[in-house]
Amino acid sequence: ITKIILDTDPGIDDVFAILFAQAHPAIELKGITTVYGNVTIENATHNALYLKQKYQLQADIVTGASKPIVRSPLGPTVVVHGEGGFGDVMVPSEVEGQADPRPAYQYIIDTVKAEPGEITLVAIGPLTNLALALQADPTIVDLVKQVVIMGGAFGENNHSGNVTPFAEANIHDDPHAADMVLTASWPVVVIGLDVTEQSFFTREYLDKLRDDAGEVGQFIWDISRFYLRFYSEKVGLEACHVHDPLAIAYVINPALFTLREGPIRVVTDGVAEGMTIQKLDSRVYLHDEWMSKPSQKVGVAVKNLELLELYRSSI
| Position among 14, 168, 174, 179 found at the interface with Ca ion (CB under 5 A) | 14
CA distance 77 to 275: 19
For ligand BDR, the binding residues in 241-300 under the rule CB under 6 A are: 243-244
CB closer to Ca ion out of 16 and 219? 16
* CB-based burial, 78-91: b 16+ in 10 Å, e otherwise: eebbbebbbbebeb
* CB-based burial, 233-244: b 16+ in 10 Å, e otherwise: eeeeeebbbbbb
Of ligand BDR, Ca ion, none, which one sits near residue 276, judging by CB under 5 to 8 A according to partner kind?
none
Beta bridge partners of 146: 120
| Position among 7, 13, 60, 179 found at the interface with ligand BDR (CB under 6 A) | 13
CB closer to ligand BDR out of 143 and 178? 178
CA distance 129 to 27: 21
Catalytic residue selected from 172, 241, 243, 287: 243
CB closer to ligand BDR out of 169 and 307? 169
CB closer to ligand BDR out of 108 and 171? 171
Contact code string over 130-159 relative to ligand BDR, x by CB under 6 A: --------------------x---------
For ligand BDR, the binding residues in 56-115 under the rule CB under 6 A are: 77, 80
* CB-based burial, 295-314: b 16+ in 10 Å, e otherwise: ebbbbbebbeeebbebbeeb
Of ligand BDR, Ca ion, none, which one sits near residue 22, judging by CB under 5 to 8 A according to partner kind?
none
Q: Check residue 168 for interaction with ligand BDR (CB under 6 A).
A: yes
The distance of closest approach from Cβ of residue 245 to ligand BDR in the complex, given in angstroms and rounded to an integer, is 10
Q: Check residue 14 for interaction with ligand BDR (CB under 6 A).
A: yes
Q: Check residue 195 for interaction with ligand BDR (CB under 6 A).
A: no
Type of residue found at 257: F
Contact present, 181 and 296 (Cβ < 8 Å): no
Which of 102, 5, 89, 91 lies closest to 44, judged by CA? 91
Neighbours of 52 (CB within 10 A): 21
**Is 243 designated active site?**
yes
Q: Check residue 76 for interaction with Ca ion (CB under 5 A).
A: no
CA distance 175 to 70: 9
For Ca ion, the binding residues in 117-136 under the rule CB under 5 A are: 124-125
| Position among 11, 64, 82, 245 found at the interface with Ca ion (CB under 5 A) | 11
Q: Check residue 108 for interaction with Ca ion (CB under 5 A).
A: no
With CB under 5 A as the rule, give the number of residues binding Ca ion. 6
| Position among 4, 11, 109, 183 found at the interface with ligand BDR (CB under 6 A) | 11
Contact present, 166 and 153 (Cβ < 8 Å): yes
Dihedral of alpha carbons 141, 264, 279, 72, sign: negative
The distance of closest approach from Cβ of residue 38 to Ca ion in the complex, given in angstroms and rounded to an integer, is 6
CA distance 127 to 121: 11
CA distance 143 to 115: 8
Of Ca ion, ligand BDR, none, which one sits near residue 162, judging by CB under 5 to 8 A according to partner kind?
ligand BDR
CA distance 82 to 8: 16
Which residues of this protein are in contact with Ca ion, per CB under 5 A? 9, 11, 14, 124-125, 244
Catalytic annotation, residues = 243
Which residues of this protein are in contact with ligand BDR, per CB under 6 A? 11, 13-14, 38, 77, 80, 124-125, 150, 162, 168-170, 243-244
